[in-house]
Chain A
C-alpha cells in the first residue's frame, strides 16, 4: 500500500513539473509585463508539434527537445514583436480578448498544417522501459525522465534569473522599469526576451508531455486552465510560488484521482462513489484555489519587491471620443434592427425556411445573456470570466425540473433566475474580495468547478448532457413548440430587459456602477458602499443570465455542462466587447454579429476559426468601443462627424505607451 502511495506521489510530482513549466512562463509575463496571456496553451501545443516533427524527421529525441524550445522561443519573439507588444498598455480585458483571438488563429493554423488527427510522439527506446526505483514497484522510465528534465529546467531558470547578467536586467526591469530604462537598458528587448523565455518553457513542457498526452490542435487549452490555477495559488509574478503551487496542485490532483473513490466508498455506496469521485477529483483543485484565495488573496508566496507598472483599468472605458462615422444614421439603424427582428418570422415563412426563426431565437437568447454580462462587465467594469455558469444553471434547473415532471414554465423560469441569483450571491461574496486579475481567475475557477460538478450529475447525463424531456408549458398561453410563439416571447423579453437596462443605466444605481468602474476608491471615499453595489450588480446579472439559460435549454432541447464551459464565457465576453461596452444596444448587436459571422464563416470553410480569431484581434486594436461606436453620438450629442475619413480608428496606435 505504501508502495502505491509513493508511486502516486511520483505521478503527482510529474504532473506538477509540467504545470510548473507552464506556470513559470505565465508568471514571468504577468509579473514583469503585467500581461495576461491566454495563448500560452497554444505555445505548449506548438512546442509539442514542432519538437515531435523534428524528432521524427531526424530520428533523435534529444534533437526534438532542443528544437521544441528553440522554435517556441523564436515564435514567442515574433508574436511579441507583432502583437503582444501593443497590449502592455491595454486593459486586462483587451489582453484577454486579443490572446483568445491568438488562440483561435494558432490552433486553426496548426490544424491546417498538420491535419486534425493526433500526432503520436514515440518514446525513445532508451526511456521505454520501467525502472525499479523502489523494489517491487516498476515506474515508467519516461515519467522519471520527465521529472528530471522539468527539475533541470527549473534549476536552469533559477540560475538564469538569479545568477546571470540577463537575469539581473530582467529583475531590474521588473523592479523599476523607468530607472532601468534611464540607465540605458533596452527595456523593449528585455520584455521580448522574457516573453520568449516564457514561450520556450511552454514549448519544452509540450514536448516533454507529448508522448503521454497525444499531440492535437487545442491540446494546451486544458493544461492552460490548470496552469492559471497554479499561477494564482502560487502568487502572480512569483516563480518560487509557481514552483510550490505546481507541485501542490499536481500532487493533490493525482492523489485525489487515485484515492477519492476509496474515501467516498466509506461514506457512499460503491456505485455512487464510482460516479461522484471522478468529478469531485476534478473539482478538488478549484476548491483548493478558492479556499487559498479566500484566506490569502495574494497567493502562497507573493512576489516580493516587485513594483509592477501601474495597473491599467480592468475594462477599457476609452470609448469613442467623437461621433461615429455612421452617427447620422443612428435612428434609422435602430429602426432597421428592430424591424428585422420583428419581421423575421414573416420573411422566413415567405421563403419557406422555418429554420431562420430558430436561428433568430438563438440570437435573441444570447443577446439576453450578453445583456446580463454587460451589466457587470460593461457598466461596472468587473471582468467576469465565468458568466456562462449561470447560463448552465438556468438550463439545468429547467432540465432537472422537467425530468421530475414539473413542466410549468411559471415555476421553472423564475426558479432558474432565483437559483442563479442565490448562487451568484454566494460566489460573489468570495470573488469580490479580490480584484483585478485575481477576480478574472477566480470567476474562471468557480465556473470550471461547477462545470465539473455538472459533469458529475450522472442521472442528468453527466458529461454528455441530456435531452430536455419536454419544453416548458405556460398553461396554454404560449406554446413553445410553435417556433413563432417562442420567438416572439423571447423577443418581448429582450425588449423589456433592454429597456430596463437603459433605465437602470441612467438611474442612480447605474450611475454609481459607472463611478465604480471609473474609480472605485473615489466612490468609496464619497461614501458609497461599493461592495454592496457590485454584489447587487452580480446578483442581478446572474438572474437575467439564468433566464437566458432556461430559454436556451428550451430552444436547444438539450441541457449539458458544455453550457458552463469557459469557452462559452469567452464567447459572451466577445459579444459584449464587439457590440460595445456599456451601450444600450451593444449586447444585441454583439450577439447578432458574433453568431452571424460564426454561421457565415463556418458555412464557408471548415477553417473558419482562423478568420474568426483574426477578426477578434483586429477588433481589439481597431474596434475601440465596438460596433456601437460606429453609431455613437458625440459627447454633446452631435451626430455629424467632425472630420470625415480622419482614420479615427488608427489613433490608438499613436497613443503614448505606458
Chain B
C-alpha cells in the first residue's frame, strides 16, 4: 500500500515535471502602426498560422508570445527590445522589421544572450563585420535581391537604368547590390526621404532622362504610391519597372492594374512548387481571405526555425549553445523548399525574377518568370569572424 502510494506519487511527479516547465517566451516587434502597418498584419497572421501548423506549440513546448508595436521607429524598437530581453526575459526575439530598427537594436542585444531572429532585414554591417553569434536572418541580406535584378538586367542587355530609392541604409544597400552585377550606365540615382509619397518632381526628371528601365526600392506605402504615379505619368508603357521589396501580394490590391507588368527579384513567390509552400499559401488564404506576401512567408519560416531549435533541446532554454547549433542547422520545412545558413547566419538560397500578371479569376498575382541565381551567398560573409 505504502509502496504503491510512493510509486504513484513519484510517477505523477515525473509526469508533472514537464508540465511545470516554463513556456518558451517569444517576443515579437512589428510596425503595427505607421507606414508598415499592412506588413505587420501579414506577419502576425503568418506567425499565428505557423504556430497552428505546429500544433499550437513550438517544438512541443507551450509558448508565450509578447507582441509589441514599434510604430516603424528605431528608437521605439530599441526600447521595446530592451524591455523584452531585460524585463520579460524572452528566449527568442522575432523582429524588428525595418533595417533602421534592426541597426538600432542589434548593438545592444549583441551584449546579451538573447536570440534574435530577423524575419526580413539583413543590413550589410550585420552580415559582415558586426555579425553576432545569436543573430539569424531568415530572409536574405539586403543587397541580394538587388544583385539578382542587376544580374538579370545585365543578362537582358539593358544599358541605361534609372535608379530611385529611399535615402537610408536599406536603400543604399539595394543600390550597391544592384551595381555589383549591373555593369551598364546609371543615368540617374535619386534618393528620396523615407515617408515621401509624392514623386511628381522626381518622375518628371525621370521622363526627361529617358532610361531603358527603372529600378526602385520603396517598401510599404511609398511603393504603392510610386507604382501608381509611375503609371499615371505614362511611364509604365515606355519604361519597364524593376523592383525589390516594393510590390508584393499585400500591396497589389492597393495598386491595382497599374502594377501589371512590374517585375521584382525575390527568394520566394506564391507559386513556388514545393509542398510546404502549397500548404502555407492555401491555409493562409483560407484563414485570412487574402494571399500572403514575402514578409508573411519569412515570418512563417522564422517561427518554424524557432520551433525546430526548441525541439532539438527538448524545451530546455538554458542550453544556449545547443540552441545556437540547432538554429544554425535550420532543420525545418521552409516554404522556399531548401534552406541552409551560411557561416554568418544568413541564408544561402536561390533567387527568382517575378512579374505581376492578372490571374484567371481576375486577381493580380506575382508569377515566377525565371531563376536568376542559385545558392547565392551574400557579399559580406567573409568579413564576419564567425566560422
Which residues does A use to contact B, with CB under 8 Å?
1, 3-4, 7-8, 11, 14-15, 111, 116-118, 120, 122-123, 128-130, 137-138, 140, 142-143, 211-214, 216-217, 222, 254, 257-258, 261, 270, 274-275, 278-279, 282, 353-355, 358, 455, 458, 461-468, 556-558, 560, 562-563, 606
Contact = CB atoms under 8 A, between A and B. Distances in A.
Given A118-B37, A467-B106, A4 B205 contact: yes
A261 B372 CA distance: 34
A186 B115 CA distance: 67
A464 B74 contact: yes
B274 interface: no
B103 A463 contact: no
A558 B75 contact: yes
Contacts of B207: 137
13 contacts: A11-B200, A11-B204, A14-B200, A123-B232, A129-B232, A216-B37, A258-B202, A261-B190, A278-B191, A461-B100, A556-B79, A558-B75, A560-B104
A302 B80 CA distance: 48
B197 interface: yes
Interface stretch (B52-60, B82-90, B153-161, B277-285): B82-90
B233 interface: yes
A462 B194 CA distance: 10
A376 to B, nearest CB: 25
A357 to B, nearest CB: 10
Interface of B: 32-35, 37-38, 41, 69, 73-75, 78-79, 82-83, 86-87, 99-100, 103-104, 106-108, 167-169, 189-195, 197-198, 200-202, 204-205, 207-208, 221, 224-225, 228-229, 232-234, 254-256
A202 B17 CA distance: 64
Contacts of A138: 233-234
Given A138-B234, A212-B225, A257-B201, A467 B168 contact: no
A258 B100 CA distance: 26
B104 A274 contact: no
A117 B220 CA distance: 10
B198 A118 contact: no
Contacts, number: 148
B75 A560 contact: yes
A401 to B, nearest CB: 17
Q: A8, A462, A563 — which one has the most chain B CB atoms within 10 A of its CB?
A: A462
Contacts of A117: 37-38, 41
Nearest to A274: B191
A4 B205 CA distance: 7
B107 A562 contact: no
Contact of A143 (B37, B41, B195, B200): B200
B233 A556 contact: no
A501 to B, nearest CB: 28
A254 B69 CA distance: 34
Contacts of A123: 232
A222 to B, nearest CB: 8
- Return the 4 tightest CB-CB contacts between A and B, nearest first: A464-B100, A355-B87, A467-B107, A116-B37
Given A214-B197, A562-B75, A118 B191 contact: no
B201 A557 contact: no
A7 B208 CA distance: 11
A354 B86 CA distance: 7
B107 A463 contact: no
A461 B103 contact: yes
Contacts of A214: 197, 221, 224-225
B194 A463 contact: yes
Contacts of A556: 75, 78-79
Contact of A463 (B100, B198, B201, B204): B100
Contacts of A353: 87
A354 B191 CA distance: 42
A222 B195 CA distance: 10
B274 to A, nearest CB: 30
Contact of B205 (A211, A258, A467): A258
A13 B87 CA distance: 52
A216 B221 contact: yes
Given A117-B37, A462-B168, A278 B233 contact: no
Contact of A11 (B34, B35, B104, B201): B201
Contacts of B197: 212-214
Contact of B82 (A15, A130, A355, A466): A355
Contacts of A142: 232
Given A278-B191, A558-B74, A462 B167 contact: yes
A130 B167 CA distance: 29
Nearest to A209: B198
A466 B225 contact: no
A282 B201 CA distance: 14
B103 A116 contact: no
Most buried by B among A116, A122, A261, A468: A116
Contact of B232 (A140, A257, A275): A140
A256 to B, nearest CB: 9
B100 A465 contact: yes
A346 to B, nearest CB: 18
B167 A120 contact: no
Contact of B208 (A4, A261, A606): A4
B193 A562 contact: no
A120 B208 contact: no
A248 B107 CA distance: 44
Contacts of A120: 224, 254-256
Nearest to A356: B87
Contacts of B100: 461, 463-465
Given A455-B193, A465-B100, A560-B104, A130 B87 contact: no
Contacts of B106: 467
Given A274-B189, A556-B79, A464 B201 contact: no
B201 A467 contact: no
Contacts of B221: 118, 214, 216
Contact of A358 (B37, B86, B191): B86
Contacts of B34: 116
Nearest to B107: A467
A278 B190 CA distance: 9
Central interface residue in B75, B79, B254, by most chain A CB within 10 Å: B75
A127 to B, nearest CB: 9
A286 to B, nearest CB: 14
B75 A465 contact: yes
Contacts of B32: 116, 606
Contacts of A355: 82-83, 86-87
Contacts of B108: 467, 557
Given A117-B37, A212-B225, A274-B189, A8 B201 contact: yes
A7 B204 contact: yes
B73 A562 contact: yes
A162 B35 CA distance: 42
A278 to B, nearest CB: 5
Given A214-B221, A278-B167, A562 B33 contact: no
Contact of B198 (A213, A275, A278, A461): A213
